[in-house]
């Protein structure tokens, strides 16, 4: 059981724990709006999603410059954490890891406005653009249908929906990101990550979805 305020506090604590270990560079305030937990952007975009098939460099730039994220990592990657709570349970979420398309100068990021940092890297040869994909875990039972699991992973294209075991707690999402995409940081802070709450939730995978490749996890402790 949880409440919007309790989940909001958990998200805030997680992000500042990451910042204390220099694993994130910037954190936006967590906002609790009725049943929704999200981030508070300093300059909210009127149109958050600007793509039909897949995010682009323009998408990253809009989100980064507007502060449309929960946290920015030292390499410029974004974490976007949004939940809804109903009847004491997580009823929906959007958890995204958005890599930066450039190899950001971390020292410059610490002192210069994001627009200037991106202008510097945009002037570099296009061959230096990195080909990393946004990773997004969506939980939306109301939209569940054939080919659209209630809990799924989207990557590479918007139509990709790989069934996942269950909704994700904030700490589970953070562990996934750092264990898979930042192995050196994970190794340096293994004790911290392993001590985070596991937060297993009831499985939402259907029998039909289990018949196809999907992502499954359960706590071993």
Q: CA–CA distance from 178 to each of 44, 89, 168 (Å)?
A: 27, 26, 15
* Residue 73 lies inside a defined structural domain of this protein: yes
In a domain, 107, yes or no: yes
Q: State the pLDDT confidence band at 94, using cuts at 50, 70 and 90.
A: very high
CB 156, CB 181: distance < 8 Å = no
- The reply to whether 218 falls in a domain is no
> Which parts of 73-207 are beta strand (E)?
78-86, 89-98, 135-139, 151-155, 162-163
Q: Has residue 221 got a pLDDT over 60?
A: no
Segments in 80-169 forming alpha helices (H)? 106-111, 114-122
The residue segments making up the domain with residue 95 are: 4-209
43-88: pLDDT as tens digits: 988 888 777 677 888 999 999 999 999 999 999 999 999 999 999 9
Q: How confident is the model over 147-169, as a mean pLDDT?
A: 93
> Residue 220 has what pLDDT?
58
In a domain, 66, yes or no: yes
Q: Pairing mode, if any, of strands 78-86 and 89-98?
A: antiparallel
Question: Looking at the domain assignment, is residue 216 inside a domain?
Answer: no
**Number of domains making up the chain:** 1
Per-residue model confidence as pLDDT tens digits over 20-37: 999 999 999 999 999 999
Mean pLDDT over each residue of the chain, to the nearest integer: 91
């Amino acid at each position: 059981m949880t409440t919007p305020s309790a989940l909001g506090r958990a998200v805030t604590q997680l992000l500042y724990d990451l910042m204390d270990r220099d694993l994130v560079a910037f954190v936006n305030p967590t906002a609790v709006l009725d049943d929704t937990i999200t981030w508070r952007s300093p300059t909210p975009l009127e149109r958050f999603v600007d793509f039909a098939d897949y995010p682009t460099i323009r998408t990253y730039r809009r989100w980064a410059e507007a502060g449309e994220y929960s946290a920015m990592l030292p390499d410029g990657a974004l974490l976007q954490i949004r939940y809804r709570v109903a009847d004491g349970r997580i009823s929906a979420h959007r958890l995204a890891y958005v890599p930066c398309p450039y190899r950001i100068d971390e020292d410059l990021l610490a002192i210069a406005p994001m627009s200037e940092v991106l202008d510097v890297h945009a002037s570099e040869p296009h061959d230096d653009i990195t080909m990393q994909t946004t990773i997004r875990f969506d939980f939306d039972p109301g939209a569940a249908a054939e080919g659209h699991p209630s809990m799924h992973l989207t990557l590479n294209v918007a139509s990709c929906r790989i069934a996942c075991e269950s909704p994700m707690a904030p700490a589970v999402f953070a562990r996934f990101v750092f264990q898979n995409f930042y192995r050196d940081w994970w190794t340096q802070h293994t004790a911290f990550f392993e001590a985070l709450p596991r937060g297993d939730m009831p499985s939402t995978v259907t029998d039909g979805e289990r018949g196809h490749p999907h992502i499954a996890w359960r706590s071993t402790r």
